Chain A
Amino acid sequence: MKELIPIKRDRRARTIKVLEGPLDNFRVAITTSMDIGRVRFALDGIVVDARLREQNTSPETLQALADQRTPVVAGVFEMHDGTHALDWLLPQGAQQPVAPEPTQVRVEKTWRSLPRALRLAAAGGLIGAGAFFLALQIKSVWNLPFLIVGALAMATLIFSLLQIAFSFSTLWESFSRRRTLRLMASVMMKYCGAQAHGR
């Protein structure tokens, strides 16, 4: 272990650890398509979990590193339940680390996607309410199309409300854990140098 930094007051993580060595016992979990890219490996004698969807890589990249036994330096969070989660990983000789999107970029993306979701929710709600109102007013077989339109609009409304909820949870996550995330970014800068994109 190269470094161990305790974290005060974080919901998820207890410490930040920087580990080095080759990837041992590399395994790719068989999962449903919902959380594809779950891998687990031993690094420096510690079992590390990674969800490569966050790092935007495929398991094959890490599999190649494990097969060639390339030494890597990796930053992991030790969670409160004792498991270790990978945050970034720098293979020896590589310029760019395998790392998740910088927090700043993710927050900006989320803010940019919000107005569209809000517009969709407003349109869905208005059209749905109007269609249901008309369907209740018209006393003939012709109210069936209005009911269908109303149901579609309500489905759109629910979809965009879910999207808004997920956006807010992302924003809250990056705000409430900002100290931890900034600390991890500075640790990554220290090991990966200035050419790594900052967070």
Chain B
Amino acid sequence: MAAELPDIQRVEGRLKKLTAKSLYKRGNAYSFDVDGQSMWFLTNERSWNPTSPFLAEGDRVELAVLDTPLTPTGERWVYALRNLEDDGAYVAHFAWQGTSQPHAATRIPPGSEHRYVLALTALLMAILGMGACIGAVTGTNSESWLFLGGLCVGAWLLFAVPLYITRWRWKAGLPTRRQRVTEAVYRCLDLGSPLAPNRPVRAV
């Protein structure tokens, strides 16, 4: 086993001083006070698809919080939030993209890997199609076409194979560190297992 899991604490209380801030490309950040502790909840919300968490001032919530403050001012990092007013559960995944700290959870939500692989496939197909059109117009030889094709296939394999292997290992009972952190977060809020949650959970 690797090093110990981060200390995840369950906090219950009411949301006070709730504010939402746009992080532009990286989504939205919610900051609030619960039990006199200030916390950050980072989400990924696209402006054309408003599926951001529904949080109102004074809501009763249960939080899974990283116990060690990350900022010098003592703000805590929220892994997951369960709103007891309408029983919506939100787990932060996208905030971990671009971090490799030991307390990070999975970057791609469980159960949505096919969506990511399909999106990547569509993107690479579009690039290949554009390359084919440009090649047909300018009349380049087939070597550069082969190079572009090889590049795209390599990128696809580099992304899809590790993702599917780690997910397959998770289902087989061999989770990675990030996956064990995610399991601890789900266990903390009684949401069941990440692979089969016992209530609708929204990845944000």
Minimum CB–CB distance from B127 to chain A (whole Å) comes to 21
B38 in contact (CB, < 8 A): no
CB within 8 Å: A-B pair count: 39
With contact pairs A38-B50, A40-B86 given, residues A29 and B28 touching in the complex (Cβ less than 8 Å): no
Minimum CB–CB distance from A158 to chain B (whole Å) comes to 16
A10 in contact (CB, < 8 A): no
B: contact size bracket:
10 to 19
Q: Is B47's CB under 8 angstroms from A34's CB?
A: yes
Q: Is A27's CB under 8 angstroms from B50's CB?
A: no
In the complex, which of the residues A30, A47, A49 contacts B19, with contact meaning CB atoms closer than 8 Å?
A30
Per the bound structure, the CA–CA distance linking A31 and B20 in Å amounts to 5
Cβ-closest chain B residue relative to A28: B56
Minimum CB–CB distance from B42 to chain A (whole Å) comes to 13
With contact pairs A38-B54, A40-B54 given, residues A30 and B28 touching in the complex (Cβ less than 8 Å): no
Cβ-closest chain B residue relative to A33: B22
Q: Is A32's CB under 8 angstroms from B21's CB?
A: yes
Q: Report A-chain residues with C-beta under 8 Å of the C-beta of B28.
A: 31-32
Q: Report B-chain residues with C-beta under 8 Å of the C-beta of A25.
A: 85
Q: Is B21's CB under 8 angstroms from A27's CB?
A: no
Q: Is A30's CB under 8 angstroms from B56's CB?
A: yes
Q: Is A30's CB under 8 angstroms from B30's CB?
A: yes
Q: Pick the most buried of B18, B54, B59: most chain A CB atoms within 10 A of its CB.
A: B54
Q: Is A47's CB under 8 angstroms from B20's CB?
A: no
Q: Is A31's CB under 8 angstroms from B86's CB?
A: no
B58-109 interface with A by 8 A CB criterion: 59, 85-86
Q: Is A27's CB under 8 angstroms from B54's CB?
A: yes
Q: Report A-chain residues with C-beta under 8 Å of the C-beta of B85.
A: 25, 27
Per the bound structure, the CA–CA distance linking A182 and B19 in Å amounts to 39
B52 in contact (CB, < 8 A): yes
Q: Report A-chain residues with C-beta under 8 Å of the C-beta of B56.
A: 27-30, 40
A35 in contact (CB, < 8 A): yes
Q: Mark A18-30, 1 if CB is under 8 A from B, else 0.
A: 0000000101111
Cβ-closest chain B residue relative to A42: B86
Q: Which residues of A contact B (CB under 8 A)?
A: 25, 27-35, 38, 40, 47, 49, 51
Could you list 29 examples of A-B contacts with CB < 8 Å?
A25-B85, A27-B54, A27-B56, A27-B59, A28-B56, A28-B57, A29-B54, A29-B56, A30-B19, A30-B20, A30-B55, A30-B56, A30-B57, A31-B28, A31-B52, A32-B21, A32-B22, A32-B28, A33-B22, A34-B22, A34-B47, A35-B47, A35-B50, A38-B50, A40-B54, A40-B86, A47-B86, A49-B54, A51-B50
Shortest Cβ-Cβ A-B pairs, 5 listed: A27-B56, A32-B22, A35-B50, A30-B18, A34-B47
Q: Which residues of B contact A (CB under 8 A)?
A: 18-22, 28, 30, 47, 50, 52, 54-57, 59, 85-86
Instruction: List 12 additional contacts besides A28-B56, A34-B47; criterion CB under 8 Å.
Output: A25-B85, A29-B54, A29-B55, A30-B18, A30-B19, A32-B28, A34-B22, A35-B50, A38-B50, A40-B54, A40-B56, A40-B86
